[in-house]
Amino acid sequence: MVSAIQKEQREQEIIEMIARIKEPFKMASRAYKGVDSVVTVEGRSIGNGHFAVIAGPCSVESHSQIIDIAKSIDGSGAKFLRGGAFKPRTSPYDFQGLQGEGLELLRAAKKATGLPVVTEIMSVKQLEDYADIIDVIQIGARNMQNFDLLKAAGKINKPVLLKRGMSATIEEFLMASEYILAGGNQQVILCERGIRTFEKYTRNTLDLSAVPVIKRFSHLPVVIDPSHATGDARYVESMSLAAVAAGADGLMIEVHNNPEKAVSDGKQSLTPEAFRALMVKVEQIAEITGKMM
């Protein structure tokens, strides 16, 4: 016995299902490109067997800070330097980053170490003004569906590291990457950084199952950010090793030479020593999973 209401429900579900199938990710999908994509910057690769660690402070604070950290993580095996010059802050009264000056300091750190720089851009204007002096453009979680910015990022010739929105489904995440790919830019790296749930002991809930799910549906490289996901340095090692074992293509880890005095997110930053120790273990597991570091 199937009732009238059940029939109506069924019809509705079929319509919704067809709608969903008709308009998913195209260029981001495995159906479009069978081989894993690899993004390469100055000889350093992420994806298709290449594993990369991106490390550095939450915010660029000073010349000595960023140079010290850059040298240290370089020595420990990081492939890229991260550091925020433009900071998306919940409050307008909080530190908004060193802006252009921060970018200059990142360039100095790159000069001192050779590490290409990953840094966040928050608007189309910043992209126009600064894309030339950044190696990998980061689009943050809060801007994952800033479609104007995504379209602009599709028109540049620079790799883009796109972070998953705090409450974005994986489907929406891949659709956001589709905006960049459809614009013509094929150098996209996806970054899972924790989703918003009811759990309170961690800042967000790291969704590591995003790794095999994305690997199934897409050819794009996937990087995990355990620092923002957990919000607590004590959980970063465990989640980093889990990410490698899960099959991620890279890690994005906050490192600070003086976490207690960091202007932002010190609580989640590893010391250079802890980062060095972590890298040894990361390498062991990456080897088992067949990744090159």
Q: Considering only residues 204-223, where is the footprint of its own copies by CB under 8 A?
A: 205-209, 211-213, 215-217
Binding residues for its own copies restricted to 137-176, rule: CB under 8 A: 142-143, 145-149, 151, 165-167, 169-172, 175
Based on CB atoms, which residue is closest to its own copies, 62 or 209? 209
Chosen residue from 2, 35, 157, 260 binding its own copies by CB under 8 A: 2
CA–CA dist 91, 136 (Å, integer): 26
Size of the site for its own copies (CB under 8 A): 90
User: What residue has token string 């969704």?
Assistant: 207
Chosen residue from 108, 112, 182, 274 binding its own copies by CB under 8 A: 182
Return the structure tokens found at 21. 């199938």
Binding residues for its own copies restricted to 94-133, rule: CB under 8 A: 94, 122-126
Q: CA–CA distance from 266 to each of 96, 130, 269 (Å)?
A: 16, 27, 5
Binding residues for its own copies restricted to 233-272, rule: CB under 8 A: 234-235, 237-239, 241-247
Spell out, one character per residue from 19 to 48, where the chain touches its own copies: x when CB under 8 A holds, - when not: -xx-xx-x--xxxx----------------
Q: Give SS3 for 29.
A: strand
Residue 50's φ and ψ, nearest 5 degrees, are -95, 125
Return the structure tokens found at 273. 């020593």
- Helix, strand, coil fractions of the chain, as percent rounded to 5: 45, 15, 40
Based on CB atoms, which residue is closest to its own copies, 13 or 273? 13
Based on CB atoms, which residue is closest to its own copies, 29 or 48? 29
In 3D space, the residue among 265, 241, 291, 217 whose CA is nearest the CA of residue 87 turns out to be 265
Which contacts (CB < 8 Å, 24+ apart) does range 213-217 have?
A: 213/170, 214/170, 214/173, 214/174, 214/190, 215/247, 216/30, 217/25, 217/28, 217/29, 217/30, 217/170, 217/174
Stretch that binds its own copies, among 60-68, 185-193, 198-206, 268-276 (CB under 8 A): 198-206
Closest separation in Å from C-beta 67 to its own copies: 28
Binding residues for its own copies restricted to 58-97, rule: CB under 8 A: 88-94
Closest separation in Å from C-beta 161 to its own copies: 18
Return the structure tokens found at 41. 């910057």
Stretch that binds its own copies, among 8-16, 64-72, 77-85, 257-265 (CB under 8 A): 8-16
202 in contact with its own copies (CB under 8 A): yes
Stretch that binds its own copies, among 41-49, 61-69, 108-116, 227-235 (CB under 8 A): 227-235
Return the structure tokens found at 87. 């900071």
Chosen residue from 75, 129, 284, 292 binding its own copies by CB under 8 A: 284
Q: CA–CA distance from 141 to each of 70, 95, 161, 167, 273 (Å)?
A: 24, 18, 11, 9, 29
Stretch that binds its own copies, among 12-20, 45-53, 107-115, 249-257 (CB under 8 A): 12-20
